[in-house]
Amino acid sequence: MNPRTAATGAAATTTAAGPVATRPAVATAAVEIDWDEAFCSEGANCFRFGLDDTGRAYIGSTLTPGAYVSDSVEALRALICAVKAGAADHLL
C-alpha cells in the first residue's frame, strides 16, 4: 500500500505529479435521498437538492445521479449564500 494513503485509508490514483487520494476506501451504506424537482438553468445544466432521513442535505447533478455534495443543511446553506454573494465569481 502507498505510504501516502495508508494512514488515511483512501484509495489512490497515480498522476504525473504522483499518487493522489481520490476517495475513502471504506464502503458506505446506500443512502435514501428524497430529491426535489431538478433546477435547470440555460443549456440544460440541471441540479437537484435533497435530504436524507437523518436531515443531511445534498446537491447533485442530473447528469451523474450518483455524484453529489453532502453536508449539514447549515453548511450547504452557507455555501449557497457565499456563491450568491460572489465567492465563486472567479470561476465563471
Residue 47 has pLDDT above 70, yes or no: yes
Which of 15-24, 39-48, 72-81 bottoms out in mean pLDDT, i.e. has the lowest? 15-24
Three-state secondary-structure class, residue 53: coil
pLDDT at 53: 94
Q: Which three cell numbers stand for residue 68?
A: 453529489
pLDDT score, position 4? 39
Going by pLDDT thresholds of 50, 70 and 90, the confidence category of residue 66 is confident
Largest separation between any pair of C-alpha atoms in the chain: 45
Q: Give the C-alpha separation, 33 to 56, whole Å.
A: 9
- Is the pLDDT at 44 greater than 50? The verdict is yes
